[in-house]
């Protein structure tokens, strides 16, 4: 009896580690998003309840900055990481105080400061500045998204659609395999996984809108899920290109089965910007 072709076998190599990591990370993200409430109907915007969420974002920013410093400034990673962390957290805390215009204005100032620090320690200023522009928009959008009306629902849909895209792409791509999506930068990703991830994200968006109390049109939610799925894939590919540029395999090793935190949230960093844009359009009147 002949065995199945190798291309059709499922890749189980690090699935166990991925699942174990998810068992820890997912409840942490959900608890921080929900805050201290036992019920989340119709919306949760309390400042006290948002403190765990702010803490989670702040820790994430620090870890991402550390990984960015390690990749982009191997000669002085601590100083560059500290500069990027300070610049991004300044914008995050301004956003938490609902000074979002000031938060966005703080980004170029923080990027310039990080560039000056990098230049002072003989590292590339442009890489340090880009680290601020790479990390900060996602962090500020995360703060803003939860602060909007029904913001917890929108944040939960963001997480659900992003996770669905990632899981769908991994599962479908591992089973079906097929032509590579972008072999130059990410040799393991396939077109089958790409479409599987998009379908999973789209279905998840529609499912979220079908839940009670979430004031979002079903078709609009499916479209948002699709857009979030596309952004997730784009973020993943972009981070692969960045790692190739800096000559590293992983951004770090903090998460078993995934590598660094940046390896885990690369898609989310793009997806939250798309979700924030969708939420802004919804506030104007689209998708009701």
pLDDT in tens, the chain (288 residues): 434 333 334 444 555 555 655 666 778 788 888 875 444 444 444 555 678 899 999 999 999 999 999 999 999 999 999 999 999 999 999 999 999 999 999 999 999 999 999 999 989 999 999 999 999 999 999 999 999 988 999 999 999 999 999 999 989 988 888 888 878 777 778 899 999 999 999 999 999 999 888 888 999 999 999 999 999 999 999 998 999 899 988 887 776 556 789 988 999 999 999 999 999 999 888 766
Q: Look at the chain and count its residues.
A: 288
| Rg from Cα positions in the chain | 19
pTM score, whole prediction:
0.86
Element containing residue 151 per DSSP (H, E): helix 151-176
Residue that is written with structure tokens 């805050």 in the block: 35
Q: Which of 20, 25, 106, 8 is nearest to 268 (CA)?
A: 25
Instruction: Give the pLDDT confidence score for residue 6 in this predicted structure.
Output: 39
| Alpha-carbon distances, residue 51 vs 25, 45, 96 (angstroms) | 18, 11, 9
Residue 49 sits at φ, ψ, to 5 deg, of: -70, -20
Beta strands, E only, the chain: 180-182, 186-190
Instruction: In whole angstroms, give the CA distance from residue 276 to residue 265.
Output: 16
Can you give the pLDDT at residue 43?
Answer: 42
Q: What is the pLDDT of residue 20?
A: 58
The pLDDT value given to residue 54: 93
CB of 98 within 8 A of CB of 123? Answer: no
- pLDDT the model gives residue 181: 80
Q: Which of 200, 140, 148 is nearest to 170 (CA)?
A: 200
Between CA 114 and CA 45 the distance in angstroms is 32
Residues with Cβ < 8 Å from 243, sequence gap 6 or more?
71, 249, 250, 251
């Amino acid at each position: 009896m002949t065995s199945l072709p190798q291309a059709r076998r499922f890749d189980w190599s690090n699935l166990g580690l991925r699942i174990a990591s998810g068992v820890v990370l997912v409840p942490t993200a959900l608890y921080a998003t929900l805050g201290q409430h036992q019920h989340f109907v119709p919306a949760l915007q309390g400042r006290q309840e948002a403190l765990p969420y702010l803490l989670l974002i702040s820790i994430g920013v620090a870890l991402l900055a550390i990984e960015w410093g390690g990749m982009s400034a191997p000669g002085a990673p601590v100083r560059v990481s500290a500069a990027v962390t300070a610049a991004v957290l300044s914008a995050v805390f301004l956003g938490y105080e609902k000074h979002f215009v000031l938060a966005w204005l703080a980004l170029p100032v923080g990027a310039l400061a990080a560039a000056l620090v990098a230049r002072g320690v003989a590292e590339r200023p442009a890489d340090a500045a880009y680290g601020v522009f790479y990390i900060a928009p996602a962090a500020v959008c995360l703060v803003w998204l939860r602060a909007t009306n029904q913001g917890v629902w929108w944040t939960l849909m963001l997480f659900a659609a992003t996770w669905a895209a990632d899981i769908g792409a991994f599962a479908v791509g591992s089973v079906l395999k097929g032509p590579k999506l972008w072999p130059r930068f990410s040799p393991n990703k396939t077109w089958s996984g790409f479409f599987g991830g998009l379908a999973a994200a789209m279905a998840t968006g529609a499912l979220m809108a079908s839940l009670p109390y979430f004031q979002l049109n079903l078709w609009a939610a499916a479209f948002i899920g699709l857009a979030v799925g596309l952004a997730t894939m784009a973020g993943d590919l972009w981070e692969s290109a960045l790692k190739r540029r800096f000559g590293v395999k992983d951004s770090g090793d903090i998460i078993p089965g995934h590598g660094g935190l940046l390896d885990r949230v690369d898609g989310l960093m793009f997806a939250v910007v798309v979700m924030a844009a969708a939420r802004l359009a919804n506030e104007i009147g689209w998708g009701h």
